[in-house]
């Protein structure tokens, strides 16, 4: 992100470099580019033909040297060069920020090689290398560098230390120097460390994925087994229900046949029932008549028993009559007739 921002800030100056055909125009372009905010990468501008042509100009060659210092040097490099143009306040602050970035990068590389903790820079060393006059100015410079996105650091005023956590990749390496070899070695070491962390992370992820696959396979097997059991239960239930349906169907046929017999009996047996009822009624009437006759016969017998005396009187009277009629032939006939009538 910091590189993209720095490259976007340098883009207008790259476009202007095409029209900077004179050494003075090229020198002026260098001054403007190094003074502009957010321009921290100068490699592309340094490689343009118009800027490289300044090496053949005795008057403006120091501007080319100044641009090289901004590209991969430090603030202390100013004292090593001669006839450099005077820097304005913005150029001095930017070069100090870039120098702090380089110092933090070198300390970070050294600590990575030794396996130490986060790099620590002392106030005294930084004040000297950055040509500052007080720790207060150093703290302000560190704060501005952090806000510019060049480093991630914390101030420790009590212990007079600057603890850096991260540096932006915005500095070039001086070609053909020992610093270049050291920087390349540090870069290679950093890449190897990063590759080792990536490999460990990949192995951890692979182990987790293997565990997830095993768990998924186990769950799938359980689901398949459960599905098989459910299908078996459903099949058994369907078979049981079919058998019960056959039994119920046979029972229904029997009940239907019984109902037919009952209906047949109700339709055809109605006459028989009526006939039976009539016969029963007739038999009842006969029984009643027989009972009445028996009652009458009993009554007669009872009456005969009870009226024996009356009969005797009648018989006596009849006998008297007979006796009377015997005296004449006509009376005898009449007495005999009475007896027959009685």
Check if the beta carbon of residue 26 is closer than 8 Å to that of residue 63: yes
Structure letter (DSSP) for residue 153: E
Check if the beta carbon of residue 17 is closer than 8 Å to that of residue 23.
no
Cα(119)–Cα(106) distance, rounded to whole angstroms? 9
Averaged pLDDT of the chain: 76
The rounded percent of the chain whose pLDDT value lies above 70 is 64
Q: Residue 182: its pLDDT value, please?
A: 62
Residue pair 101/170 in contact by the 8 Å Cβ criterion: yes
Residue of 174 and 25 predicted with greater confidence: 25
**Contact call for residues 51 and 67 (beta carbons, < 8 A):** yes
Top pLDDT among 175 and 216 is at 216
80: pLDDT strictly greater than 60: yes
CB half-sphere exposure, 238, CA atoms < 13 A: 6
- For 271-295, what is each residue's pLDDT tens digit? 434 444 444 444 444 444 445 455 4
CA atoms within 13 A on the CB side of 174: 15
Q: Is the pLDDT of residue 75 over 50?
A: yes
Span 123-130, average pLDDT: 93
Q: How far apart are CA 196 and CA 198, in angstroms?
A: 5
* Residue-level pLDDT at 111: 58
**pLDDT value of residue 324:** 45
Please say if the pLDDT value at position 118 is more than 80.
Answer: no
pLDDT for 317 beyond 50: no
**Which DSSP symbol is given to 115?**
T
Give residue limits of the domains in the chain: 1-72, 87-172, 312-342
Q: Higher model confidence: residue 45 or residue 113?
A: 45
Q: What is the CB neighbour count within 10 angstroms for residue 281?
A: 10
**How many whole angstroms separate alpha carbon 55 and alpha carbon 342?**
193
Q: Which of 61-75, 94-108, 212-226, 234-248 has the lowest mean pLDDT?
A: 234-248
- Of 136, 49, 52, 35, nearest in space to 87 by CA: 35
- CA 247, 248, 249, 250 dihedral sign is positive
CATH 1.10.10 describes domain 87-172: yes
Q: What H or E segment, with its residue span, contains residue 121?
A: strand 120-122
The region of weakest confidence among 39-43, 55-59, 295-299 is 295-299
**CB 27 within 8 Å of CB 54:** yes
Contact by Cβ (8 Å): 45, 13: yes
User: Comparing 1 with 301, which gets the higher pLDDT?
Assistant: 1
Backbone angles phi, psi at 205, to 5 degrees: -65, -40
H or E, element range at 277 = helix 178-306
pLDDT value for 42? 92
DSSP calls for 182-194: HHHHHHHHHHHHH
Name the pLDDT band for 132 (thresholds 50, 70, 90).
very high
pLDDT of the residue at 82: 80
pLDDT at 23: 93
Does the structure show a pLDDT above 80 at 215?
yes
Q: Please tell me the predicted confidence (pLDDT) of residue 168.
A: 87
Give 54's pLDDT tier (boundaries 50, 70, 90).
Answer: very high
pLDDT tens digits, 163-186:
988 888 888 777 765 555 566 776
C-alpha–C-alpha distance, residues 237 and 230, integer Å: 10
Give me the pLDDT at residue 341, please: 47
Q: Looking at residue 55, what is its pLDDT?
A: 93
């Amino acid at each position: 992100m910091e590189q993209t921002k720095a490259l976007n800030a340098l883009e207008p100056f790259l476009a202007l470099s095409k029209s900077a055909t004179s050494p003075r125009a090229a020198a002026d372009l260098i001054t403007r580019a190094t003074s502009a905010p957010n321009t921290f990468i100068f490699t592309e501008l340094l490689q343009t033909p118009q800027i490289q042509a300044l090496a053949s100009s005795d008057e403006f060659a120091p501007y080319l040297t100044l641009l090289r210092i901004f590209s991969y040097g430090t603030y202390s490099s100013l004292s090593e060069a001669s006839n450099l143009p005077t820097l304005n306040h913005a150029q001095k602050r930017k070069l100090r920020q870039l120098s702090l970035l380089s110092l933090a990068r070198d300390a970070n590389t050294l600590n990575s090689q030794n396996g130490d903790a986060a790099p620590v820079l002392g106030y005294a060393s930084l004040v000297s290398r950055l040509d500052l006059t007080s720790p207060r100015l150093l703290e302000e410079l560190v704060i501005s560098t952090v806000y510019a996105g060049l480093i991630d650091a914390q101030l420790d005023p009590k212990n007079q230390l600057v603890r850096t956590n991260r540096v932006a990749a915005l500095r070039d390496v001086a070609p053909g120097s020992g610093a270049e070899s050291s920087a390349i070695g540090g870069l290679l070491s950093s890449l190897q460390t990063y590759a080792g962390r990536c490999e460990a992370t990949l192995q951890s992820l692979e182990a987790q994925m293997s565990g997830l696959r095993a768990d998924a396979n186990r769950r799938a097997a359980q689901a398949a087994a459960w599905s098989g059991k459910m299908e078996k239960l459903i099949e058994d239930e369907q078979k049981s229900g079919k058998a019960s349906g056959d039994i119920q169907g046979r029972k229904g046929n029997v009940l239907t046949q019984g109902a037919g017999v009952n209906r047949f009996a109700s339709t055809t047996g109605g006459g028989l029932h009526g006939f039976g009822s009539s016969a029963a009624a007739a038999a009842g009437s006969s029984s009643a008549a027989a009972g009445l006759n028996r009652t009458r016969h009993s009554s007669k017998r009872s009456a005969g028993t009870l009226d024996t005396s009356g009969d005797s009187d009648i018989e006596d009277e009849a006998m008297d009559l007979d006796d009377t009629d015997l005296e004449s032939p006509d009376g005898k006939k009449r007495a005999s007739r009475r007896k027959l009538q009685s």
